[in-house]
Amino acid sequence: MKLLGISGLDGSVSFKKAQWPGLDEREYRISQGHDSAAALIVDGVCVAAAAEERFSRKKHTGDFPSGAIQYCLSEAGLEIGDVDEIAHGFDYAPYSKVFSLDPITAELYRNVFSPESLAGHVRQRFPAFPPEHIHSVQHHLAHAASAFCTSGWDDCLVVVIDGMGEAHSASIYHAKDNKLQKLHHISANDSIGILYSLVTLHLGFDFNSDEYKIMGLAPYGNPARFRSFFDHAVVLEPNGSIQSRSYE
């Protein structure tokens, strides 16, 4: 089995620029699907992986990862026709009705988020690849699978926490017998990842980019100075869940 995994949402930033011109570049980074990449798995082994920015020279690009795909195929001595399946790490189809409630979000779904948009990008670059072998995978499920399937463990707990996937900011799975069973999730409305990025933006750095710089600066700060703010912004529930008040 030869599986090509891809990430990124081509057109996400350009759509925002078309709808809301005049924002600065830092504001346009508040969008989904940056850092597009590709990874090639052959018989369960990752034989090549690369970020698209290495080939396009566009930092954090979310463009369809054509260059990364070609690199992975070249490294493995394969062509696109040798690939059995393509998997993409977002699946917005279950939320299509929600996007349809507003004209702008309906256009965003149709042109950027939909499986049909993904299939169109694949068809444009690789016309002969069969569309029935293109799969949209839930974002957190893709994260969980990449961790579990390379862990070497047969039975474990998998915790995914990021800014947000399609609608969730954290997901917990029980991984056993090569299957992932979701146990719990936290809404994107309560995302501590987004709070992290908002603090990054507030400090003059780039959202969805410079969070690691804030992590590097943190040891030099005084944790007590803003403790009351974060105690209010993030509430740890008795059941182990999280409530974020970062939008208040």
Read off the pLDDT of each residue in 18-33 and give the average, rounded to a whole number. Answer: 92
Distance of CA 229 to the CA centre of its chain: 28
pLDDT, tens digit, for every residue of 138-188?
Answer: 999 999 999 999 899 999 999 999 999 999 999 999 999 999 999 999 999
Q: State the Cα angle at 93 between 241 and 87, rounded to 5°.
A: 90
pLDDT, tens digit, for every residue of 199-217?
Answer: 999 999 999 999 999 999 9
Read off the pLDDT of each residue in 185-199 and give the average, rounded to a whole number. Answer: 94
Predicted local distance difference test score (pLDDT) of residue 244: 85
Predicted local distance difference test score (pLDDT) of residue 51: 98
Cα–Cα distance for residue pair 105/102, rounded to 1 Å:
5
Helices vs strands, H then E, count in the chain: 11, 10
Q: Which residues on neighbouring strands pair with residue 168, listed in sequence order? A: 187
Predicted local distance difference test score (pLDDT) of residue 246: 63
Half-sphere exposure of 58 (CA within 13 A, CB side): 14
User: Which residues are known to be catalytic?
Assistant: 34
Paired tokens of 51: 């970020």
Provide the mean pLDDT of the chain: 95
Which domains are delineated in the chain? 2-137 (3.30.420), 154-188 (no CATH), 190-244 (no CATH)
